[in-house]
Amino acid sequence: TDALVEIKGLKTHFFTDEGTVRAVNGVDFVIPRGKTLCVVGESGSGKSITARSILQLVDAPGRIVAGEILYHRRRKDRCQGSRDGEVETLNITKMDPRGKEIRRIRGKDIAMIFQEPMTSLSPVHTIGNQIMEAILLHLPVDKQGARERAVEVLRRVGIPKPETRLGAYPFQLSGGMRQRAMIAMALACEPDLLIADEPTTALDVTTQANILDLIRELQQDLGMSVMFITHDLGVVAEIADDVVVMYLGTVAERGDVDAIFHDPKHPYTRALLRSVPKMGLGARDRLDSIRGMVPHPFARPSGCPFHTRCDSFMPGTCDRLVPPRERIAEDRDVYCLLYSDIEKVREAQGGVAR
310 contributes a contact to ligand SF4 by CB under 6 A:
yes
- Nearest CB to ligand SF4, comparing residues 92 and 304: 304
Q: How far apart are the first and last CA of the chain?
A: 31
How big is the chain, counted in residues?
Answer: 354
Decide if 211 contacts 149 (C-beta within 8 A): no
Using the rule CB under 6 A, give the single segment among 53-61, 138-146, 177-185, 304-312 that binds ligand SF4: 304-312
In the complex, the smallest distance separating the C-beta of residue 18 from ligand SF4, rounded to whole angstroms, is 27
Q: Does residue number 323 form part of the binding site for ligand SF4 (CB under 6 A)?
A: yes
By a kind-dependent CB cut-off of 5 to 8 A, residue 48 interacts, out of ligand SF4, Mg ion, none, with Mg ion
267 scored as a contact of ligand SF4 (CB under 6 A): yes
Determine, following the binding rule CB under 6 A, whether residue 248 of this chain makes contact with ligand SF4. no
- Closest alpha carbon to 122 in 197, 163, 183, 182: 182
- At how many degrees (to 10) do helices 175-187 and 127-138 cross? 10
Residues 36-65 close enough to bind Mg ion by CB under 5 A: 48
Interaction of residue 314 with ligand SF4, rule CB under 6 A: yes
Nearer to Mg ion, 197 or 242 (CB): 197
φ, ψ dihedrals at 170, nearest 5°: -50, -40
- Total of chain residues touching Mg ion, rule CB under 5 A: 1
Phi first, then psi: what are they for 299, rounded to 5°? -115, 60
Report which residue type is found at 122: S
Binding residues for ligand SF4, rule CB under 6 A, total 14
Question: What is the edge-to-edge ordering of all strands in the sheet holding 110-114?
Answer: 110-114, 193-197, 225-230, 36-40, 242-247, 250-256, 332-334, 326-329
333-352 binders of ligand SF4 (CB under 6 A):
336-338
Q: Contact positions toward Mg ion, by CB under 5 A? A: 48
User: Which chain residues interact with ligand SF4 by CB under 6 A?
Assistant: 266-267, 304, 306-307, 310, 312-314, 318, 323, 336-338
